[in-house]
Amino acid sequence: MSEQYLMYFIVPLWLAAGVADWIMHRRAGIEHNSGPKESMIHLLMLAEMGLPVLAALFLQVNALVLLFMIVAFFVHEATAMWDVSYAVTRRVVTPLEQHIHSFLEMLPLMAVSMVALLHWPQFTALLGMGPETADFSLRWKASPLPRQYVVWLMVAIVLFELLPYGEEFLRTLRGRWQRKVRRAA
C-alpha cells in the first residue's frame, strides 16, 4: 500500500508543485529581474531530484540507491536555500510561492522516507544496524515497476517539468538578450 501511495499521491503532488512553482516564476517575470541564473538554479534542482527518481524507478533499491537519494535530498536543500537567497535580492518572492517551495522541499523528504520504509532492511543496513549487510551494488530492478506507470511518469516529467523549466530558461536568456540590445541602442 505504501508503494501505491508514493506512486499515485506523493509523486503527482510533487509534479503539481513543480508546475505551480513554474507558474509563480512566470508571474514574477523572472526574465526581467533574476534572469538566467535563477532559472539555471531551478534546472540544477530538477536534476538533483530527477536523478534519484530515475534511480528509484529503474535500479534495485539497496543501500547504495538509498544513500544516493539521501545525499541528493540534502544537496537539493542546500541548492533551494541558494535559490531563494538569490531570488529575494532580485525580485518579490510572494508568500504563495514560498508556500509552494515548502511542498517542493517536503515532498522529496516524504518520497525518500517512503522508499526507505519500503526497503527498511537495506536502510537499517546502511546505518550499520539490522540483520542484512548493506548492498552497494548497482543493478536493474529485479521486479520492475509497471511499464504503464513508468511511461506515464516519464511523459508527465517531460510535459510538466522539463518543458516548462526549459521554456523558463529560454525565456530568461531572451530577456537578457533583449536588455543588452536595449542598452546598446
> What are the pLDDT digits (tens) for 16-64?
999 999 999 999 999 999 999 999 999 999 999 999 999 999 999 999 9
> What is the SS3 assignment for 140?
strand
Percent of the chain beyond pLDDT 70?
A: 100
Closest residue by Cα to residue 66 from 5, 135, 141, 116: 116
> What are the pLDDT digits (tens) for 113-152?
999 999 999 999 999 998 999 999 999 999 999 999 999 9
Count up the domains in the chain and report the number.
1
Instruction: Give the C-alpha separation, 102 to 108, whole Å.
Output: 10
To 10 degrees, what angle do helices 95-118 and 35-58 make? Answer: 20
- Looking up cell 548493506 gives 134
What's the domain range around 144?
2-184
Instruction: Give the C-alpha separation, 112 to 110, whole Å.
Output: 6
Contact 61, 115 (CB under 8 A): yes
Instruction: Give the C-alpha separation, 102 to 96, whole Å.
Output: 10
